[in-house]
Chain A
Amino acid sequence: MKVSLVVNGAPREVEGGPLRRLLDVLREDLALTGTKEGCGEGECGACTVLIDGEPVNSCLVPLAQAAGREVRTVEALASGELLTDLQEALVRCGGTQCGICTPGIAVCATAALAREPGADRLRLRELLAGNLCRCTGYQLVIDAVAEVVARRADATDAGAAPPLPARTAPTAPGQAGPGVGSRGAAP
């Protein structure tokens, strides 16, 4: 079946059986390899993407259920090489080790912070519980996300826009896509 969907702001048409995994369509047909396959069973969250703004495991989404939906992957978080404040914080705090879980964490945390901008550390742990890190680097991940919560709150208190990322980060394969469409640097 032919399926039309919007991926990172651009309308795309893809082909495949209805039960084909959205994960495979993104990686194989659309070359968006920032989305990783970890367990392939919905346990680890490495394949997290946003569908209509909600974080989901793309390994469990049949292609047919993505029809007409807006899908956002890790490639659409940064503006070209300009990382979001969250990505910047993950880099600065060392919230990434081998890196396989990092795209899923960045995507899930982006959605979680949009939904609950005032989440405390305990709540952040709950919001990110669906993203496993086999290097067990959770502490630094939570440090990074908590720092973003604090900085955005400071910026809001001061009535100013949150500080933009201070520098461009080195690009990693699959992490700095063309930056098509919607930006992740909100709010």
Chain B
Amino acid sequence: MSGATPTRTPAPAWLRPATLADALAARAAHPDWLVVAGGTDVMVGSTRRPEPPGVLDLFGLAELSAITEGPDGLCVGAGATYAALLRHPTVRDRFPCLHEAAREVGALQIQARGTLGGNVQTSSPVGDTLPPLLALDAEVEVASAARGPRRVPYAAWITSYRKTALATDELLVAVHLPWPAPGTRQRWRKVGTRKAQAISKVMLAATARLEGDGPGRPGTIAHARVALGAVADRPVRLPTVEALLVGASPDPALAERVREAVRAAITPITDVRSTADYRREVAANLVARFVLDLAAPALPGADPGAGGAP
């Protein structure tokens, strides 16, 4: 693009639908329009790109903003901001790894406007809330005017680098999070150059549930999910590592086997933010530490579903 002399084209049309039905109709009529919510991704570099023919503004659309509890789990509207996630006590108590990711995705300015749906649709390999969605077995709900709603397991949502299963006449409606089984421990770790407001070098989201554990007895791992970010072209689950964990007892020997398995399972790249070697070693350490910490009793008074160290 010749950024110095932008072609004078008419300003884009702008539509701010009041209902989801109106939004879906507009999406079907204008598949080439830019869909914007909080703008924290799509506005970056906006002055250096040609303008789209139109803009579909979904920010604040009530039907997309709600966080609601159901019998099977929590439904987070695609337009719910990180600030809304952080304010929600159920997210904090039952989905602490998502709560912590929302807390670290950016500071107040980004949290006020960035949305979970935006992170899910931008689908960056370094999207902070995305490994938690893998670890929590999330499903993405999309809808179109012609075919109504459908659900896609988050594990199948990303089709290639920054590409998702969203069709050109569909909008992202919600993310569904099944209730974790009581006693499930969760872990979120983000490693960046700086504690706050940094783009991640490596992220870990993991969950595990133990059976037969008690004082002095770690028990065995009955369920495990291990997901990493920033080590591939998309957030990834590590099935080989999960298979090692299930049925095993969390101890230093298992942690060492897991460390090796993580190293073997990922092929991160070297880029401006980190090196492949660093990412591989940090990822291995993060997962091994999670396993070692499982051997310690859950924090007293922790709510069911919570329990990972903050």
Hey, which bits of chain A sit against chain B, CB under 8 A?
A: 1, 16-19, 21, 40-43, 45, 48, 54-57, 59-62, 64-65, 108, 111-112, 125-132
Q: Tell me, yes or no, whether B55 is within 8 Å of chain A by CB.
A: yes
Q: Tell me, yes or no, whether B16 is within 8 Å of chain A by CB.
A: yes
Contacts of A19 in B (CB 8 A): 12, 34, 43, 46, 51, 55
Q: Tell me, yes or no, whether B11 is within 8 Å of chain A by CB.
A: yes
Instruction: Please measure, in the bound complex, the distance between the C-alpha atom of A45 and the C-alpha atom of B59, giving whole angstroms.
Output: 21
Q: Mark B1-34, 1 if CB is under 8 A from A, else 0.
A: 0000000000111101000000000000000001
Contact of B196 with A126 in the complex, beta carbons under 8 Å: yes
Contact of B109 with A1 in the complex, beta carbons under 8 Å: no
Contact of B109 with A65 in the complex, beta carbons under 8 Å: no
Contact of B109 with A62 in the complex, beta carbons under 8 Å: no
Point out the residue from B13, B109, B196, B197 that lies within 8 Å of A56, measured CB to CB.
B109
Contact of A45 with B109 in the complex, beta carbons under 8 Å: yes
Point out the residue from B11, B44, B46, B106 that lies within 8 Å of A1, measured CB to CB.
B11
Interface size class of B (residues with CB under 8 A): 20 to 34
Top 4 nearest A-B pairs (CB, nearest first) are A130-B107, A129-B196, A17-B11, A18-B14
Contact of B107 with A128 in the complex, beta carbons under 8 Å: yes
Contacts of B113 in A (CB 8 A): 56-57, 60-61
Q: Which residue of chain B has the shortest Cβ distance to A48 in the bound complex? A: B109
Contact of A64 with B43 in the complex, beta carbons under 8 Å: no
Contact of B110 with A130 in the complex, beta carbons under 8 Å: yes
Contact of B12 with A42 in the complex, beta carbons under 8 Å: no
Contact of B14 with A64 in the complex, beta carbons under 8 Å: yes
Contact of B43 with A60 in the complex, beta carbons under 8 Å: yes
- Given the interface pairs A45-B109, A55-B109, A62-B36, the reply to whether A21 lies near B46 with Cβ below 8 Å is yes
Hey, which bits of chain B sit against chain A, CB under 8 A?
A: 11-14, 16, 34, 36, 38-40, 43-47, 51, 55, 57, 59, 83, 106-110, 112-113, 195-197
Contact of A129 with B14 in the complex, beta carbons under 8 Å: no
Contacts of B112 in A (CB 8 A): 54-56
Instruction: Please measure, in the bound complex, the distance between the C-alpha atom of A16 and the C-alpha atom of B14, giving whole angstroms.
Output: 12
- The smallest C-beta distance from A159 to any residue of chain B, in angstroms, reads 31
Contact of A62 with B108 in the complex, beta carbons under 8 Å: no
- Given the interface pairs A21-B43, A55-B108, A60-B40, the reply to whether A43 lies near B197 with Cβ below 8 Å is yes
- The smallest C-beta distance from A96 to any residue of chain B, in angstroms, reads 19
- The smallest C-beta distance from B52 to any residue of chain A, in angstroms, reads 8
- The smallest C-beta distance from A35 to any residue of chain B, in angstroms, reads 13
Interface centre among A16, A65, A125 (most CB of B within 10 A): A65
Contact of A65 with B57 in the complex, beta carbons under 8 Å: yes
Contact of B11 with A57 in the complex, beta carbons under 8 Å: no
- Given the interface pairs A1-B11, A17-B11, A18-B55, the reply to whether A60 lies near B44 with Cβ below 8 Å is yes
Q: Which residue of chain A has the shortest Cβ distance to B111 in the bound complex? A: A130
Instruction: Please measure, in the bound complex, the distance between the C-alpha atom of A61 and the C-alpha atom of B44, giving whole angstroms.
Output: 10
Contact of B43 with A18 in the complex, beta carbons under 8 Å: no
- The smallest C-beta distance from A46 to any residue of chain B, in angstroms, reads 11
- The smallest C-beta distance from A101 to any residue of chain B, in angstroms, reads 13
Instruction: Please measure, in the bound complex, the distance between the C-alpha atom of A1 and the C-alpha atom of B16, giving whole angstroms.
Output: 14
Instruction: Please measure, in the bound complex, the distance between the C-alpha atom of A27 and the C-alpha atom of B157, giving whole angstroms.
Output: 41
Interface centre among B44, B51, B107 (most CB of A within 10 A): B107
Contacts of B40 in A (CB 8 A): 42, 57, 60
Interface centre among B57, B109, B197 (most CB of A within 10 A): B109
